[in-house]
Structure 1
Amino acid sequence: MRLPEVERGEDLRSRSLIRLISAVSRMRLPDAARVAFYHRNFVAPALGSWTQAAMRGTSAWTVGERELMAAMVAKWNSCTFCIGAHRATAVHGIGAETVDACLSDYRSAPIPEPLRATLAFLETMTLRPAELGPADAAAAMAVGVTREQLADAAAIGALFNIITRYSDALGFAIPSDAEFGKAARMLLKRGYG
């Protein structure tokens, strides 16, 4: 469902900011950013803080690895917008070949075993949450994933299992690859907060 208030902004301040940012960036401000201006006191502060902490806070995972995790959760949830956005951002830290190989089949992708085991944990968490248990955590830790890394990954999984549904529920417009790339550079520079 596409809300006109998300598209244009619900008040004069929001409309002005959306227009200004779009003009300066020379592209349509992606809907993920537009929703931050929608009901500013409802979703934006909590979701923005949580996303910033999970994706840019202190972690043993690199920014690229965390962006890949978000893209994978988006893939499992069939969220075209989030796949594109987080793929474009992950590419800057991991490289396009590796990210695309993971999105195709992370089990055979050229990634370190701890990341592969973490993606397996996130896949179960996303697609079969009732099956997720201590054995899944133990399998990841057996190949070198720390408790902290698993907790960080679980936070990303939980967050993007919400965000992907939010994106689809609000009918986010899908930018071009070039626009995703431009937005990724802004996201890497400014973060999620």
Structure 2
Amino acid sequence: MEISHSPEQPLELPLDIDSIKGFLDPQEGAALYRLAAEASDLGPCLEVGSYCGKSTVYLGSACKLMGNTLFAVDHHRGSEEHQPGEEYHDRDLFDERSQLMDSFHNFRSNMRAADLEECVVPVVASSAIAARHWNTPLGLVFIDGGHSLEAAMTDYRCWSRHVVPGGYLAIHDIFPNPADGGQAPFEIYRLALASAQFELVEMVKTLGILRRIQ
């Protein structure tokens, strides 16, 4: 079954999505919105890697519409590529006092501007720490955290097991060709399919949408 979405039809989001820092394509965001709405009958949604909240607004807006909850997991210290001297470093998100990246203030401001504070629950911790005692079944898990193989594998192992049968696992930045991008998300995507627990539903640009079948 394909998830119905029309990239040409803009979503009615609570604020200008382009004003939020991030790397999510609008077509991918629209697919996440509709996926979160569909998954809401199965359980709460969870994303790994919120950054400044672009994907959170898409997912959270759908959860708000459906009376559901989105857990947004991120330590807000930035991934490897966000650190000083790296390709995606943003000086505006660097905290001079701590000499560390800190996207949480920006994230929280965006949640307030989008009126999503009542349905988005920020979990300010690493993926492994947040998952340590997690027991809540999830209708949707969206993985868009660190892109090192270690980080991606940790995210997959921590959270994919909490997706309920019929629920969805979405993985961002899947590049089958190494020349197009890093391979860690593609590796966990392949691992999920090889597990025989997930089946591919749809690819939307670099967003892989899988359903748990057992």
* TM-score normalised by length of structure 1: 0.30
More strand by share: 2
Higher relative contact order (CA 8 A, sep 6+): 1
Q: In terms of Rg, which structure is larger?
A: 1
More helix by share: 1
